[in-house]
Amino acid sequence: DQQVKQNSPSLSVQEGRISILNCDYTNSMFDYFLWYKKYPAEGPTFLISISSIKDKNEDGRFTVFLNKSAKHLSLHIVPSQPGDSAVYFCAASATGGGADGLTFGKGTHLIIQP
């Protein structure tokens, strides 16, 4: 069973606009969530994370929102830039700080159009 779900395999956004990537989870034990970005032939690169005690975390152009009651999180990228074109993975951890094995979604391929 897929405990972390990214239901949009791909998303196309115009340069300069907002990109919103969504992620849902089913395991109530998850208390720490992360977003990674991946280019072809490279390993995932950490972007931003959020603990379950918060509902928002911001880092530059990236903001992650967490809705615990809906078991839903989203990543907002504003403004979107061509270099943001990549596959984005949502990941979850059941121990504080993501120090255990992470559970990943299948990813969303973000395409930024000029």
Partner 1 sequence: DTGVSQDPRHKITKRGQNVTFRCDPISEHNRLYWYRQTLGQGPEFLTYFQNEAQLEKSRLLSDRFSAERPKGSFSTLEIQRTEQGDSAMYLCASFGQGENTDTQYFGPGTRLTVL
The reply to whether 35 sits near partner 1 by the rule CB under 8 A is no
84 φ, ψ (degrees, to nearest 5): -80, -10
Work out the number of other CB atoms within 10 angstroms of the CB of residue 81.
12
The reply to whether 27 sits near partner 1 by the rule CB under 8 A is no
Q: Which residues contact 49 (CB under 8 A, 6 or more apart)?
A: 32, 33, 34, 35, 57, 64, 98
* Closest distance of CB 14 from partner 1, Å: 26
| From 61, 68, 71, 106, residue interacting with partner 1 (rule: CB under 8 A) | 106
* Closest distance of CB 36 from partner 1, Å: 8
Tokens of 84: 């943001």
Going residue by residue from 50 to 69, which x/- string records binding to partner 1, judged by CB under 8 A? ---------x----------
Q: Of 88, 77, 86, which Cα lies nearest the Cα of 16?
A: 77
* Closest distance of CB 9 from partner 1, Å: 8
* Closest distance of CB 16 from partner 1, Å: 26
Q: Of 33, 26, 45, 28, which Cα lies nearest the Cα of 74?
A: 33
The reply to whether 70 sits near partner 1 by the rule CB under 8 A is no
Q: Which residue shows structure tokens 């504080």? A: 96
Binding stretches for partner 1 (CB under 8 A): 4, 6, 34, 36, 41-46, 49, 59, 89, 91, 97-107
